[in-house]
Amino acid sequence: MNVVIIKYNAGNIMSVEFALRRIGIVPEITDDINKIIMADKVIFPGVGEASTTMLYLKNKGLDKVIKQLKQPVLGICLGLQLMCKYSEEGDTECLGIFEETIKKFRNKPDTNYKIPQMGWNSIHNLKNHIFDKSLENQYVYFVHSYYAEIGANTIATTNYIINFSSALQKDNFFATQFHPEKSGRIGEQILKNFIDL
C-alpha cells in the first residue's frame, strides 16, 4: 500500500505519520507531484492559516494536482477547509472540491464559548462507509476557529455554537475537521476505514 502525505507549509504532518505507523502503514511525506499522483492513497493534513497556505500550494502547483487526483484523498483540519470553495480566513478562494463555505465561529448572544474549539466533541448523522455505525455519537479531537457549513457534501455533523460539518465527502475526496490522528481508538478506526477503501 503506497500512502503519501502531502508535504507543504502546514503543521501536524508528523502526528499523522505516527498515527499511520500505529495501524501498520509506513507513509511517504512528499511534495513530489509524480509521487502524489501515483500513490494508492493521499492524505492532505494541516494546521495553519488558509490564505498563506493556499498561496504556497499555488506556487508549488499543488493546488491543480490535488483537485485532479483520482485515488482516495483524505483532508484533515486545514486540509478540509482548503478543499472547500471559500474561507473567511484571509478572504481566501480555496480549492473548490467541496461546495461548502468556511466561516469563523462567532458566539451567539448570551453565550461564551471558547474560540478556538479545543478538545473532544461528538460526531453525529454519519452518512458514509468511512464511518462504522459504531462510531455514531463517538468523541473525536478538534482544534479549530473556523468551520465548514452544513451542505450537500456533509457526512458527519458536530455541534459547537452551531451545527457544522465535521466531515465531508464528494467522489474520491474525504475530509474531517477533527484530527483522527489525535482521536485515539476512534481516530485509528477512521484512518483504517480510509486505508481500506
pLDDT in tens, 56-69: 999 999 999 999 99
pLDDT at 110: 85
Active site residues: 77, 179, 181
Cβ–Cβ < 8 Å for 44, 79: yes
CA-wise closest residue to 94 among 70, 72, 78? 78
Q: Output the pTM of the full model.
A: 0.97
How far apart CA 87 and CA 71 sit, in angstroms, is 25
Q: Which CATH superfamily is domain 3-195 in?
A: Class I glutamine amidotransferase (GATase) domain (3.40.50.880)
Which residues touch 150 (CB under 8 Å, ≥6 apart)? 100, 157, 163, 164, 165
Average pLDDT over residues 80-97: 98
Segments making up each domain of the chain, as ranges: 3-195
> Average per-residue pLDDT in the chain?
96
Cβ–Cβ < 8 Å for 175, 168: yes
pLDDT in tens, 124-167: 999 988 998 899 999 999 999 999 999 999 999 999 999 999 99
Beta-strand relationship, 139-144 and 117-122: antiparallel
